[in-house]
Amino acid sequence: MTAHPAPSRLSPAPGGEIDLTAVAVEYAGKKGNVRALKGVSLHIRPNEFLAIVGRSGSGKSTLLRVIGGLIPPSEGTAALGGEPIVRPPSSARFVAQDYTQSLLPWLTVEDNIRFGIRHAVRPDADPDGSVARMLDLVGLAHARSRYPGELSGGMQQRVAIARALASQPSVLLLDEAFSSVDALSRAKLQDMILGLWETLRFTAVLVTHDIDEAVYLADRVAVMQERGAGIAALVDVDLPHPRHQVETRERPDYLAYRRELAARVLTSDLEGAAA
């Protein structure tokens, strides 16, 4: 269900380039301060699809929250389009794993998307047209007047993505966004996000623990070291677009990328300890 509609009125704001320089994040924990990130540097190119993989506790979600301006870095700098990120940047939108809690349950699907338009990066001259278009793009035109509580998990996450993109961000941050839905919905969501990315052009940063998902979706995969020690590896994924759930996953180069990344993730604790 890859979407290939005509070029869009909903075009992203320019400048979806992200620079992280020696970013450290410290939490006040029960037993003193916890360093979730210990100096991470990463450059994310405009309009690329970057996946960040790593084990639990590698700090990959914390890193994404720093980019989203939801956590300020304790040390180092994070910048989007050259502007330092000190609060949620106007051109980035964050999509959480927890779709049941991130949608507005008192608003219909349509009104949730309208919420995104009302709080958009730039004012929208034709909000009604944009709502209809987003509903089409995520395949939810039939469910426009239903409430989130009446939808399946996959559908709710489609609403959350539509709402984020309706506000025309240049950067879309996806925090384990496909991890809480069943396998089939997940495959559909993956193809949908690729279709949206190819159509609307934005910088996509996806945090996932799933190496398969990272290789399938991304053009570049960053592997986090254990305990936020930094980026262990950056792997370019040179697979052709559009990608296909069956054919792409059978390609020898797909399998080679998968093998390489799995090995990197499995050894990331050793490298992290050495660093």
Partner 1 sequence: MSNTERALTLNRLGEVDGGHAAPKKPRKSLGVLGLFHSRLFGWSAVIALLVLWEWIASVAPSPGLPPPSRIWNSWMAEITKGDLLAQLGETMLAMLYGYAVAAVLGIALGIAMARVKVLYALFEPIVELWRPIPSIIFIPVIILYAGLGLEMNVIVIVIAATESVILNAYGGARSIPPALLDTAATFRLTWWQTLREIVLPAAAPQIFVGLRLALAKSLVLAVGSGMIAGNSGIGFYVINAQQTLDIAKMYAGAATVALTGYALNLLFLFIESRVVHWHAAQRGSAIV
* Footprint on this chain of partner 1 (rule: CB under 8 A): 68-70, 87-88, 90, 92-94, 96, 98, 100-106, 115-116, 119, 147, 149-150, 164, 167
In the bound state with partner 1, the residue whose beta carbon lies nearer, of 53 and 64, is 64
Chain CA centroid to CA 22, Å: 21
Tokens representing residue 125 in the block: 């001259």
In the bound state with partner 1, the residue whose beta carbon lies nearer, of 28 and 274, is 28
CB of 247 to partner 1, least distance (A): 35
CB of 72 to partner 1, least distance (A): 12
In the bound state with partner 1, the residue whose beta carbon lies nearer, of 54 and 69, is 69
In the sheet with 75-80, reading across from the earlier edge strand, the strands are: 32-44, 18-29, 75-80, 83-84
In the bound state with partner 1, the residue whose beta carbon lies nearer, of 175 and 226, is 175
CB atoms within 10 A of CB 27: 11
Q: Cα–Cα distance between 54 and 64 in angstroms, integer?
A: 13
CB of 186 to partner 1, least distance (A): 18
CB of 127 to partner 1, least distance (A): 15
In the bound state with partner 1, the residue whose beta carbon lies nearer, of 104 and 263, is 104
CB of 271 to partner 1, least distance (A): 31
